[in-house]
Chain A
Amino acid sequence: QVQLVQSGAEVKRPGASVTVSCTASGYSFTSYYIYWVRRAPGQGLEWLGLINTKSGTPTYAQNFQGRVTMTRDTSTTTGFMELSRLTSEDTAVYYCARVGGYTGSEYYGGMDVWGQGTTVTVSS
């Protein structure tokens, strides 16, 4: 079945980096974008960015420019999100989701499949 499986929970010190992986199965990996979203405790959802899995081109939210790096490995159908210079404000559950179609396309279909979430805790 179609699914996205994310890597396990992480605990990091302030200033460190974390990488979350998102492995896709059950569909053509390069036919969908991968978006990354997070939800901090007591907060709402926040969009971090996306990666075009066909070209490997990322697009980042301005708030995370310079701190986030999104990549993908088509051989393992896996997307990666690395966040550096962590602070306590980065403590959150991080999600990946697939999106078919791009903005401006009539085929845009929303984030229709989500990973199970990865809890990242930043604490000294």
Chain B
Amino acid sequence: ETVMTQSPLSLPVTPGEPASISCRSSQSLLHGNGYNYVDWYLQKPGQSPQLLIYLASSRASGVPDRFSGSGSGTDFTLKISRVEAEDVGVYYCMQVLQLPYTFGRGTNLDIK
């Protein structure tokens, strides 16, 4: 199965500062159609996960533009331009190209 390696696993951030999470896959997630099948999700405490980014760089409806996704092939990044208190939670990357679909271990973002 495709392994998704996330880093860091813990990310303390000062409000207003930027944050970045890396996700590396064990196989290329670039489809022949030119799209990378990588999603990013945030699970806030006590809530269901929510979609942030799909197809590596497309922001989901209603997601603030301080969130952005980039990358291709095996290396992907989620960036938050200015972290706000409401961004705390666990962030997951997920590949949806190779069965079984797999998640990274998660990055726990909290506020300093």
Contacts from A to B (Cβ < 8 Å): 37, 39, 44-47, 59, 61-63, 95, 97, 103-104, 106, 108-112, 114-117
Contact = CB atoms under 8 A, between A and B. Distances in A.
A58 B102 CA distance: 17
Contacts of B102: 47
Contacts, number: 68
Given A95-B49, A108-B54, A111-B41, A47 B103 contact: yes
Contacts of A97: 49
Nearest to B96: A103
Chain B interface residue count: which class?
Answer: 20 to 34
Interface of B: 1, 31, 33, 35, 37, 39, 41, 43, 48-51, 53-55, 60-61, 90, 92, 94, 96-97, 99-106
27 contacts: A44-B90, A44-B104, A45-B49, A45-B92, A45-B106, A47-B100, A47-B101, A59-B99, A61-B100, A62-B1, A62-B100, A97-B49, A103-B96, A104-B31, A106-B35, A108-B35, A109-B54, A109-B60, A110-B51, A110-B60, A110-B96, A111-B41, A111-B49, A111-B51, A112-B54, A112-B60, A114-B50
